[in-house]
Amino acid sequence: MKLGVTINREIDEGDRPLKEVFIGFERVGAVKAIFGARTNDVLEETRVVLQERKGYLRVDDTNGKILISILYLKNGDEKHLYLDLIHELVHVRQYMEGRDLFDNRYSYVDRPTEIEAYSAAVKEAKRIGMSYEEIEDYLKVEWVTDEEFDRMLTNLHLKQKVD
């Protein structure tokens, strides 16, 4: 499936404008839903830091920059990168609103900021035609237990609670 955007995978490490790495995201409906009329301005101002590190993408809660594993950028599944950027752009908006991105009163899968960000990514995954199994595969991360993953699916309304 064509996503209508370009992810520049032939880029070196460093601090760069988001639009140099992720091209065309200002036209994505899910991104417009995050920022509204400010979409283009926010994407112009947002910086990404490409670095050799383990992991995927995350927002630095001290400056709002998106930190990206260069290995993931170069080798990750295109749909996953696309959805991860949408997820992290929700965190950029939350950062701009002054919200605590890593509120330790909650576990990762129950944290309101994560549920909001994953919800945006899941909605977009459905829109681009991903199956339930593909979405589940996208959501499964190595730092959550099977029990936490089940709770995540419930929190995202992808699984019915069984009491």
Q: Which residue ranges make up each domain of the chain?
A: 6-155
User: Average of pLDDT values for 66-78?
Assistant: 96
At 12, list the tokens: 């070196």
Asked if the model's pLDDT at residue 123 lies above 80, the reply is yes
For residues 31 and 25, what is the distance between their CA atoms, to the nearest angstrom?
7
- 8 Å CB contact between 87 and 59: no
Task: Identify the helix (H) or strand (E) that includes residue 114.
Answer: helix 112-127
Mean pLDDT of the chain: 94
Output 160 or 109, whichever has higher pLDDT.
109
Q: Indicate the pLDDT class of residue 163, thresholds 50, 70 and 90.
A: very low
Task: Identify the helix (H) or strand (E) that includes residue 58.
Answer: strand 57-59
Asked if the model's pLDDT at residue 161 lies above 50, the reply is no
User: Average of pLDDT values for 82-111?
Assistant: 96
Of 45, 42, 47, 72, nearest in space to 57 by CA: 72
- pLDDT value, residue 154: 93
